[in-house]
Amino acid sequence: MTVFGIGIDVVENHRIAEAIQRHGERFLERIFQPGETEYCRSMRDPHPHFAARFAAKEAVSKAFGTGFAGQVTWRDIEIRRKASGEPFVVLHNGAAALARQLGIRTVLVSLSHSDGYAVANALLLQD
């Protein structure tokens, strides 16, 4: 496997909390898949979890080298969890098409958060 791209992003948790307070469901529906929202809302303090997923989406878009311009949208990058707790990425629509076009077979992601910040790394691998 060959590394196609890497990405990293850090987010202040309070900025995501403020966006949710200001824009409510409209913000959540624009950024997150329903399963992501359901997972985050199941947590005692959902904002760091939303922030970590936001950072992961940014990191993946940076690893593609596109950001959220063109065919990749926020909801095209979904962050899920395995039973073990390990996060993984599911690509949809434009992001999935771009990954196929570029020969990207694996997307790895790592998330972390504290009271103040969330961070994520992403690695895209080609066969």
Q: Reduced to 3 states, what is the DSSP secondary structure of residue 106?
A: strand
> What is the crossing angle of helices 46-64 and 34-41, to 10°?
150
**Residue tagged active-site, from 47, 49, 57, 113:** 113
Q: Which of 47, 49, 57, 62 is the catalytic position?
A: 62
SS3 content of the chain, % helix, strand, coil (to 5): 45, 30, 20
Q: Clarify whether 82 is annotated catalytic.
A: no
Catalytic, 14? Answer: no
SS3 of 81, please? strand
CA dihedral over 112, 117, 118, 121, signed as positive or negative: negative
In the numeric block, the tokens 């850090």 are attached to 10
Active site residues: 62, 113
